[in-house]
Amino acid sequence: METKRHQYLLNVVFLAGLLLLALNDHVFKGAYGNRWTGKLSDFAGVLILPLFLAYVFRVGKRTAVAATVILFTTFKSGYSQAMIDAWNGLGLFHLGRVVDYSDLLAFVVLPLSYRVLSRPEGYALPLQFPRQISRYALLPLTLVFFVATSPPDSYIIIGPEIGSCCQEPPAIDSLGGGRLFIPTAFTPDGDGLNDRFQVIADEGIARIDTFFVISLVDGDTVFRAENVTDISPATGWDGSDAGVTEASNYQFDIRLSAVDGSRRTYRGYVCALPCREPTGMARPVNLEVCGFADEIDLSTIFSDSLTTSEILDCFVE
């Protein structure tokens, strides 16, 4: 194993994956930013991560592949947000991502990673290079490209933009013996109507276990609440990010518990649409199907038959 360990990095598959990761993050996303360039880095990173782990930690091929699945799945889930926030709080370098489980499709490249780990000499470079290159050049270069991803604006392409808000319906669901509603839009403009992004629930829902709102610009958490038993507008998000409220789209990750102990996590997007004054922005094409908090009435029965009272005349037709 030791005699060929350097070949985990010094092979055509690893170097091609590393080059693709670097070009996609720092060239392709800026020039051709779309959903495909958003996914390409995931495929390249998943391809080379098992080889990197096998080289650094001297683990077997099965362990390296299994560790890749665990690490990537955790990073792409909402469970990693607290760790990401803690790391960013250190001020060393910014780490961000958007929760998107379709990124797990990148696992289709793992059989190739496994094959290279089984026979790295079969993918070795045609030219002979000193083993020290893998340790002193490729290893730090790989670390840089793993963490130095594209500029923050590239994250916008992963989630829907403000012009295409409300592509998914609001969550209207039963959990245990309770009912709940999570809107897809709100208007943080201080007029007393739909000012906060909130969970609406009846007495069958006991608690909001975790409530995250995540920026699609840089992947930072802009709102966080835990163990909320007062499920009301007062415990929702007021739409401000670092003291600034703007028309934008955000990702949410909300875990709820019912009185009977049932639990469920809801993930999606919510549009903040402050309308204090003309925004100069084009009217979102799906605005008529956005779900607002005032469209639900819990006073008698849980009904979604109401229509919003919002008058959104601040957008350009």
The pLDDT tens digits along the chain (317 residues) read 444 788 898 899 999 999 999 898 778 865 665 567 768 889 999 999 999 999 999 999 999 999 999 999 998 887 777 787 777 677 676 666 666 777 899 999 999 999 999 999 899 887 776 667 666 778 888 888 887 654 443 332 333 456 668 888 888 888 998 989 999 999 888 888 899 999 999 999 999 999 999 988 777 889 999 999 999 999 999 998 877 888 888 999 999 999 999 999 999 899 998 876 666 666 777 788 888 988 887 654 445 566 777 777 776 66
Answer for the pair 200, 293: CB distance below 8 angstroms, yes or no: yes
Alpha-helix runs per DSSP H in the chain: 12-23, 29-32, 35-57, 61-75, 81-88, 110-118, 132-133, 139-147
What's the distance, Cα to Cα, between the start and end of the chain in Å? 66
Distance of CA 11 to the CA centre of its chain: 32
Cα(176)–Cα(236) distance, rounded to whole angstroms?
22
pLDDT of residue 150: 46
Cα(117)–Cα(127) distance, rounded to whole angstroms?
20
Q: Could you tell me the sign of the dihedral formed by the alpha carbons of 302, 306, 311, 315, in that order? A: positive
- Among residues 261, 253, 150, the alpha carbon closest in space to that of 210 is found at 253
Whose structure tokens read 């709940």? 180
Cα(14)–Cα(44) distance, rounded to whole angstroms?
9
Q: Report pTM.
A: 0.57
Cα(268)–Cα(241) distance, rounded to whole angstroms?
18
Q: Which residues of 7-33 are buried (b: 16+ CB within 10 A; e: fewer)?
A: bbbbbebbeebbebbbebbeebbeeee
Answer for the pair 122, 14: CB distance below 8 angstroms, yes or no: no
Identify residue 231 by its one-letter amino acid code.
Answer: I
- Among residues 173, 230, 237, 188, the alpha carbon closest in space to that of 206 is found at 230
Cα(43)–Cα(110) distance, rounded to whole angstroms?
9
Cα(186)–Cα(290) distance, rounded to whole angstroms?
9
Pick left, alpha or beta for residue 232 (phi over 0 → left; psi -120 to 50 → alpha; otherwise beta): beta
- Among residues 156, 186, 157, 169, the alpha carbon closest in space to that of 286 is found at 169
